[in-house]
Amino acid sequence: MCQRMKNRTDIPVEKLKLSEILEKLCTYLIVDFITKLLLVAGKDIILVACNKLSKITYLIATIEETSAKKLV
């Protein structure tokens, strides 16, 4: 039983790589839309914006007819 559960030591393990450090808080944002939702309080879309550095996610309710200028 012990022979079957032994860890394999013949495969070398690579060195750890450091993550790159971002310079500014809001430099990298991930943005997506959740669409085709039921109309609630006059809103039918959720804008999801995630800050890549702090991992904070913002959920913003809006309507489908909103222009890009209004979203910004």
Helices (H), the chain: 2-5, 68-71
Reduced to 3 states (helix: H, G, I; strand: E, B; else coil), residue 37 is: coil
Question: Per the confidence metrics, is the pTM higher than 0.75?
Answer: no
Which among 13, 34, 26 has a CA at the least distance from the CA of 55? 26
4 or 36, greater pLDDT: 36
**pLDDT, tens only, 26-63:** 667 888 888 888 888 888 899 898 887 778 888 989 88
> Is the predicted pLDDT of residue 71 greater than 60, yes or no?
yes
Where are the domains positioned within the chain? 24-64
